[in-house]
Amino acid sequence: MIALLVRDMRLAMRAGGGFGLGLAFFLLVAVLVPLGVGPNSTVLALIAPGILWVGALLACLLSLDRVFALDFEDGSLDLLVTAPIPLEGVVAIKALAHWTVTGLPLTIVAPVLGVLLNLPVDGYVWLVVSLALGTPALSVIGAFGAALTVGLKRGGLLLSLLVLPLYVPTLIFGAEVVKRGAEGMATGTPLALLAAITAGAAALLPFASAAAIRINLR
């Protein structure tokens, strides 16, 4: 399983685009929003938590179709299905690999973009904490969407349509944590709910994703 994780991360880093693309997209969102909204710093501070979370979510979405599609095309997904490790484990590892190359870097650069968006000082800790806790859920849910659409040509748009409604609770709680943190309020409740979504999704969704892949490869 570790070999699979390393392989997936290597592929994502070396095969061009996938790794940097999400980060570049996130950066662009953070640069373009002030250009569109105007440089008023109070307005920016007000919308910064939401914009940063939406940007992270869309950046995550960008690389989702690569989770299974490339392996499906060259046939290695068939080998993984027949491999001795359970497919549920494969899915979980692939989601983890996706998170390590998208969610983790996003979490690390988010404070820098927070400066661009004039995020209040109290918000930085909560931004990092909420992204670190929430982005794994985005990867796991995204892997489910990718598993559903793996056999389809031009599944990209459909993938976004399927995955975006599933992202709603994560986005709401994640952005709420940062908003409350930035305003200096207690963040315990949304943070606990966000962690609960991540834990629940990571525990249960790999089974649904594995079922979807088995159906698609039948």
Partner 1 sequence: MSFWEYANPQKFMQLSRKVMPWVAGASVLCLVGGLAWGFFGTPDDYKQGSTVKIIYLHVPAAMMAINAWVMMLVTSLVWLIRRHHVSALAAKAAAPVGLVFTLIALATGALWGQPMWGTWWAWDPRLTSFLILALFYLGYIALWQAVDDPDTAADLTGVLCIVGSVFALLSRYAVNFWNQGLHQGASLSLDKEENVADVFWFPLLVCIAGFVLLFLALVLLRTRTEIRARRMGALLARERMG
**Chain residues that interact with partner 1, rule: CB under 8 A:** 144, 148-149, 151-152, 155, 158, 161-162, 164-166, 168-169, 172-173, 176, 189-190, 193, 197, 205, 208, 211-212, 215-216, 218
**Cα–Cα distance for residue pair 218/43, rounded to 1 Å:** 52
Q: Which is nearer to partner 1, 31 or 204 (CB)?
A: 204
Task: Determine the straight-line distance between the first and last CA of the chain, rounded to whole angstroms.
Answer: 24
Q: Which is nearer to partner 1, 105 or 181 (CB)?
A: 181
- At closest approach, how far in Å is the CB of 32 from partner 1? 23
Q: Which is nearer to partner 1, 12 or 98 (CB)?
A: 98
Tell me if 64 sits within 8 A of 21, measured CB to CB. no
Q: Which is nearer to partner 1, 54 or 211 (CB)?
A: 211
Tell me if 53 sits within 8 A of 175, measured CB to CB. yes
By CB atoms closer than 10 A (0-12, 13-18, 19+), residue 139 is buried
- At closest approach, how far in Å is the CB of 173 from partner 1? 6
Q: Which is nearer to partner 1, 5 or 211 (CB)?
A: 211
Q: Which is nearer to partner 1, 16 or 165 (CB)?
A: 165
- At closest approach, how far in Å is the CB of 186 from partner 1? 14
Quick one: DSSP state of residue 86?
-
**Cα–Cα distance for residue pair 54/174, rounded to 1 Å:** 10
- At closest approach, how far in Å is the CB of 141 from partner 1? 8
**Cα–Cα distance for residue pair 113/171, rounded to 1 Å:** 18
- At closest approach, how far in Å is the CB of 111 from partner 1? 24
Q: Which of 150, 203, 195, 204 is nearest to 169 (CA)?
A: 195
**Cα–Cα distance for residue pair 90/73, rounded to 1 Å:** 17
